[in-house]
Chain A
Amino acid sequence: MPRLQAGDHEALRLLYERHARSIYNFARRLLIDPSGAEDVLQETFLRTYRDRAAFRPTALFTTWAFTIARNLCVDILRSARRRSEVAADPLPETGDPRPIPLEHLERLEQETSLRRALAALPTEDREVLLLSRYHGLKYRDIAAIVGASEDAVKMRVHRALARLRKLLAP
């Protein structure tokens, strides 16, 4: 970050290489929309560059970047009300005329069910579950990202997981 704060584009590229996949997948799962996720990814790094002077040396870049990405996602979800459009990814086209193996098909169906179930969670529950499950962030850091107390995060992660369990129950 000190190099970035001096206006070095190369430093931004290094941060991008290290964190882009993580930010992109967080946005993808929170928005349930790959194209929106790319917008969030781009805007996150552009804002990182634009607001670099405000970055405190004692802060974690991960927390900083996830906070920007999360706020962008929440804005998108609020304005477009995408939550109501449960837009789970369609089964991917393989381009291969041969039939998809049964095992592969079952796995794709399971993934689709998971995505639908995640999409059905309220945003405030989904975001904390994603940050905890996929990004291994501590409740303290998640609390800073979503602007809630650590206890609230603990409750939300449990609530999200319990609800997901019910949604996935056969």
Chain B
Amino acid sequence: MECDEARPLMAAHLARQDTPEEWEALGHHLRSCQACGEEAEGLSQTWQALGDLPDADPPAAAWDRIQARLPAPQPVRQARWAASVGTAMLGLLASIVASWLLPYERAASLCGEALRRIPLLTALPDPAVFFAVGLVYGLLPLGLAALATARRLSDTGRHPGLLAGLVFGVLALPYVVIACSGLPAAFTAALAAGILAGALAAGPAGIWAGGRFLLPARA
């Protein structure tokens, strides 16, 4: 190692910014170069002397002056979950009403007929049809609810749409089980999974669409 290479490493060592390999190479050089050895010693003393310069406390009123210049606090925001749960309840109500108007079994029959007309889906199993029906009963009601409440939801915490979707899916489960009590368990499970999947997609999508198309642009 040359002296020019060694010098920056002296300060780096004092600042604990050197690697073990650099320290070893520097130590080897310092043992063989008296001038660099003396410089390293001098730099070390200067580094230590800098540590003797005391810190000062900021003026006691500094925070008060900062606070006085801050904009007025935002109105207290509703709890993060409140808007999401409200949206989920609204969506669930719409979904239940939809299931009264068009029961799941009837919807599955219509959906199955329509899907099986597509050449690639002629052998579509019944649980898959119920999953598709569930998607619709989750996606549309919660999507519309999220669209309607996009302003409130977007002012809450992170991922409010996903939270709304999850709450919707969990709350819908008992109703789906009761409404499908006469159906095979596989159909009920597929329907419930479809509703949950649809709801998880609908929440974020509704907020995005509401923010994109309904809410005014923020300054």
Contacts and interface: CB of A to CB of B under 8 A. Distances in A.
A132 B70 CA distance: 31
Contact of A165 (B17, B42, B52, B58): B42
A133 B62 contact: no
Residue among B7, B10, B62, B74 with most chain A CB within 10 A: B62
Interface string A32-43: 001000100110
A46 interface: yes
Given A111-B52, A162-B43, 14 more contacts: A6-B77, A6-B157, A12-B66, A21-B58, A38-B62, A41-B58, A42-B62, A115-B53, A133-B47, A139-B12, A158-B43, A161-B14, A161-B46, A162-B11
B17 A138 contact: yes
Contacts of B12: 139, 154, 157-158
A135 to B, nearest CB: 11
Interface residues of A, number: 39
Given A20-B63, A161-B47, A46 B69 contact: yes
A20 B62 contact: yes
Contacts of B53: 29, 111, 114-115
Interface residues of B, number: 36
The 8 closest A-B pairs by CB, nearest first: A158-B11, A24-B58, A7-B74, A165-B46, A158-B8, A132-B15, A157-B11, A154-B8
A134 to B, nearest CB: 8
B21 to A, nearest CB: 15
Given A6-B77, A114-B52, A38 B15 contact: no
A155 interface: yes
B1 interface: no
A114 B50 contact: yes
Residue among B54, B56, B157 with most chain A CB within 10 A: B56
Contacts of B46: 161, 164-165, 168
B15 A133 contact: yes
Contacts of A139: 12, 15, 17
A83 interface: no
B9 to A, nearest CB: 8
Given A38-B58, A115-B53, A161 B43 contact: yes
Given A132-B17, A162-B7, A9 B55 contact: no
A125 B182 CA distance: 80
